[in-house]
Amino acid sequence: MTATHTPPSTGERRTIRVVIVTAAVVLGLALVAGLTAVAVGVGSTRIVADAQPLPADLRVLNIDAGEVPIAVRILTDDDATEPRAEMRFISTAGNRHALDITSQADSARVTVRGQTPDWFRWARAGEVRIVLPPGLARGLTLISTQRYGALMVDTDLDRLEARIDNGAVALRGAARTVEIHNQRGAIHSRAPIEVRDSFSATGIEGKISVDFQDPPPPRIRATLDRGSVELGLDGDGPFLVNASTGDTEGRTVVRVPRTSDPGEAVSEITARAGAGSVVVDRT
C-alpha cells in the first residue's frame, strides 16, 4: 500500500522557513561560543571579550542588547560565589562593543554597547553569558530585550520577561511566571519546564513548541498570527482547552483530558494560530 501525505498548509510552510532560519542562527551562535576569548584579527574582524561582576544581592536583572546581534545565555554555576556577566563578540574594524553595567540597590541593568553594520546584523556572531549562583537565580526576575539574536535560559528563575524582534528563545528549568514575545522566530523548550503561576508566549510569525512538567501552570497562553503552536502537557488533568486556527488548511488537535468547567480544570489553556496548526498533546 502506498502511503499518502498531506502537504503542509500555507502557515506551516511559513513556519518551516522561519524554523530553518532560526536553526541556522542557533548553530552559528554555538560555533562562535566555542571560540576563545582572545582578540585576534581575521581580515577586518576581531573577537572582543569583556567580563564584569554583578551585585551579590541581585534580585532584578534587566538585559538590553539593543541593535547588537547577539545571543544571551542565562546559566548557573555551583562554584560561583557572585553573579557575573561575560561577553564575546566578533566585531568589525572600527566598531567597538562592550558591556555597560549600572546597578542600584538589588537591581542591575546590562546594556550591550556597539554599532553593527547592516550587512552584519544577520550573522548574530556573539554571546553574553550571565552566570549565577543557583540560590540567587531562583529568586531572580530577568527582563531581556533584543532586536536580533537568541535567548537561552538554562536555569531556575523566579520570573522571566523577554522580548525579541527577530530570533529564538530556548527554555530549560523552572520559573514562577514566564512572559515571552518573539515577533519573528521560535519559542521552544529543550526539556519539559516547570512553571508555577502562568505562562504566556506570543508572536507574529514562527513556531511555539513548549512542554510542561506536571503540574502545569494554572494559566497557559500561546498565540501566533502565522505559524504553528505545539504544547505538551503531563498529568491526568483535566484541562480547559481553547484551541483554534484561522487557517482553513491548518489543523487543530487536542489529545489531553478535557473539561469545560473552570472549577474542575487544573489548567486553562489558550492556544491559537491565525495561520497554521495548533496541537495540544501529552508529553
C-alpha cell at 62: 534587566
Q: In sequence order, what DSSP letters do the residues of 181-210 get, joined into one string?
A: EEEEEEEEESSPBEEEEEEEEEEEEEEEEE
Question: Which amino acid type is present at position 259?
Answer: T
Strand boundaries in 114-173, DSSP class E: 126-132, 141-154, 159-172
CATH topology of domain 43-173: Pectate Lyase C-like (2.160.20)
**What are the φ/ψ torsions at residue 156 (nearest 5 degrees)?**
-90, 135
Instruction: Work out whether the CA dihedral 230, 231, 234, 236 comes out positive or negative.
Output: negative
In order of 54, 73, 91, 253, the CA distances from 129 in angstroms are 12, 5, 17, 38
Residues 114, 91: Cα–Cα separation, whole Å: 9
**Grid cell for residue 156:** 531556575
Write down the H helix ranges in 125-196: 134-138
pLDDT tens, residue order, the chain (283 aa)? 444 444 555 555 555 454 444 544 444 544 444 443 333 444 556 677 888 999 999 999 999 998 888 899 999 999 999 999 999 877 665 555 678 999 998 999 999 876 655 544 544 568 999 999 999 999 999 999 999 999 999 999 999 999 999 999 999 999 999 999 999 999 999 999 999 999 999 999 999 999 999 999 999 999 999 999 999 999 999 999 999 999 888 899 999 999 999 999 999 999 999 999 999 999 9
pLDDT tens profile 148-200: 999 999 999 999 999 999 999 999 999 999 999 999 999 999 999 999 999 99
| Residue positions counted in the chain | 283
Q: Where are the domains of the chain?
A: 43-173, 205-282
How far out from the chain centre does Cα 10 lie?
A: 25
- Give Cα separations from 207 to 4, 222, 242, 276 (angstroms): 25, 10, 18, 9
Round to whole Å and give the CA distance between 166 and 66.
12
pLDDT digits (tens, 9 = 90+) for 30-50: 444 444 333 344 455 667 788
Helix (H) or strand (E) holding 49: strand 45-53
State the Cα torsion 91-84-176-57 to the nearest 10°: -140
State the burial class of residue 263 (Cβ atoms within 10 Å of its Cβ: 0-12, 13-18, 19+): exposed
pTM recorded for the entire structure: 0.82
**The residue type at 125:** A
